[in-house]
Amino acid sequence: MGIMEKYQITSAVIGILLGGSIFWLARRDHLHGRFAVWWLVTGFVCAALGIFPQFVDWVAAGLGISYPPILALVLGIGLLVLKIIIMDIERSKNEIKLQRLTQRLAILEGELLDQNKYLPD
């Protein structure tokens, strides 16, 4: 077995493990909706690139990149940064919703206090 084949087996195992784990999480409802879509695509790409790592070499050669693995790394890190930014935007939106809901609850509980119907914790 040549060096290239060994490398290909290693990358295929890593890619399939990563893609398979994501698929398993989606099937178990740990990831759902649009989150599942993002991660299933990511899992599929990881598995595909793991099985056919030459694809990165072809694209890198086409783009004139002399060290192909760096292309996969830069794209991977770029997508991760994008994902984290989207997560923080989502978190900010959720925080606003939670704060406004808490405020609304306080206003309603204030009315219950007026009517002596307030239930303390």
Residue ranges in contact with other proteins by CB under 8 A: 92, 95-96, 98-100, 102-107, 109-110, 113-114, 118
In terms of CB distance, is 29 or 121 closer to other proteins?
121
* Beta strand residue intervals within 1-121, DSSP E: none
In terms of CB distance, is 13 or 87 closer to other proteins?
87
Nearest distance in Å: CB 75, other proteins: 29
In terms of CB distance, is 66 or 102 closer to other proteins?
102
Integer Cα distance of 48 and 34 in angstroms: 21
Is residue 73 a contact partner of residue 39, using CB atoms and an 8 Å limit?
Answer: no
In terms of CB distance, is 6 or 93 closer to other proteins?
93
* Residue corresponding to tokens 């991760």: 80
The residues, any chain, with a CB within 8 Å of residue 21's CB and separated by 6 or more, are 43
Nearest distance in Å: CB 102, other proteins: 5
Residues in the chain: 121
Nearest distance in Å: CB 119, other proteins: 11
Nearest distance in Å: CB 98, other proteins: 8
CA dihedral over 49, 53, 58, 62, signed as positive or negative: positive
